[in-house]
Amino acid sequence: MNKIYNPKRADWSKVLKRPTQTVADIEGLVNTIFEEVKLGGDSILKKYTEQFDKVSLDSLLVSEDEIEEAKTLVSEELKAAIQLAKANIEVFHTAQKTGRVEVETAAGVSCWQEKRPIQKVGLYIPGGTAPLFSTILMLAVPATISGCSEIVLCSPPDKEGKLNPAILYTADLCGVTKIVKVGGIQAIAGMTFGTETLPQVYKIFGPGNQYVTVAKQISTKHGVAIDMPAGPSELLVVADDSANAAFVASDLLSQAEHGVDSQVILVSTSKAMIDAVEIEVENQLEELPRKEIARQAIANSKLIFVDNHQDAIDLINEYGPEHYIVCVENEDFYIDNTQNAGSVFIGNYTPESAGDYASGTNHTLPTNGYAKQYSGVNLDSFMKSMTFQKITKEGIQTIGKAIELMAEAEGLEAHKNAVTLRLNSLK
């Protein structure tokens, strides 16, 4: 791993650079596929599925028979684990429900806010080297709680044209209404425009590689909302001598194994901890089935020593990590002063893996520094806030003159007249 000692603030942006391509590097390919899918529908989805996933499909839609078969292929132990995670996620997200907010802003002027579900949502679930069925829990559970009427799931098939049984089992368990075997840029394009098989949706959720991330961003140019620009996974750990080096190394590797473009960072005020973690990473790495992927990610990663806690927290806020683990003696200082992070894990016995699977919080989080302005997925991500108002005769008399004066000052006489007519009718 790359060791960096007391980097100058002027160099922080260079030190903290993510190993990702820019939108410009990928946008041309994305636009080409979008245009083809818009014009060609299912046939183009199949074409790119054959090109990228190396399988030719007669039908993109997952059948009921495939779902039933998948249920028999998932072990009872895994089913129980998925159900436990689902229950915890339901508890945490149900607690996020808020009721109607109503206030009388002036005499006779009632204003209120209510939330409505987004009717049609699309869930992108990565397949590839790691079939992320856990992401279905994180997206379909709050979508169902919110009351979304259509929940469409896209995931790339394997070379036999199938989806992982755990993906199908979890999707069925969580109320997904349609499952389509398509991945990558073409899946995002299909949900953006709609095809013969794949419905058009109003908002797209889910993580993916850099190509999927850019595709989601491009979809917003075509009237579709997205959860956030969530790209390759990342983790930052802040640790001092009170931390367990083996635990810290295991957390760094847990994110490094996601993909070769993942990034993990350790920030520490202890050189001894940095050295101990480096040794543990090398030892644990050799035991991992996905060690070649993790090794490439580790090459993009950093061990950063800083002299004091203030520099450490400033560096962390500058980075804005997706996942952020705090293992320090004075944890309150870091918790209270953290401004930019997707999800925070506190203490030696709170691995990031808990949030990925079963503690109840959501693991669909902003990456690439977007934690500075985006929240992770939550119940409100699947809802819209609508405002309502009702004004009585007394109310229009209370605020009418102010509206007339403001409209006239802006040169909008029709706006003024809409109030004047009502006021005159009450004389």
Rounded CA separation 245/266 (Å): 11
Please tell me whether 186 is known to bind a ligand: yes
Q: Which of 234, 257, 280, 323 is catalytic?
A: 323
Which residues are CB-contacts of 207 (< 8 A; sequence separation ≥ 6)?
124, 126, 132, 135, 230, 231, 233, 364, 367
Position 189, amino acid: A
Please tell me whether 124 is known to bind a ligand: yes
323 in catalytic set: yes
CA distances from 119 to 126, 191, 226, 396 (A): 23, 14, 14, 35
Which residues are CB-contacts of 23 (< 8 A; sequence separation ≥ 6)?
214, 217
Rounded CA separation 153/145 (Å): 17
CA distances from 257 to 233, 251, 413 (A): 10, 10, 63
Q: Which of 322, 352, 394, 413 is catalytic?
A: 322
363 in catalytic set: no
Q: Virtual CA dihedral for 54, 189, 364, 94, nearest 10 degrees?
A: -120
Please tell me whether 222 is known to bind a ligand: no
Q: How far out from the chain centre does Cα 40 lie?
A: 29
Rounded CA separation 376/341 (Å): 9
- Cα torsion angle, 245, 258, 15, 338, sign: negative
Please tell me whether 309 is known to bind a ligand: no
Rounded CA separation 355/372 (Å): 20
User: What residues form DSSP beta bridges with 386?
Assistant: 114
Please tell me whether 339 is known to bind a ligand: no
Q: Could you list the residues known to form a binding site for Zn(2+), using ranges.
A: 255, 258, 356, 415
Annotated binding site, which residues?
124, 186, 209, 233, 255, 258, 323, 356, 410, 415
Catalytic residues: 322-323
The annotation places the binding site for substrate at 233, 255, 258, 323, 356, 410, 415
- Binding residues for NAD(+) are 124, 186, 209
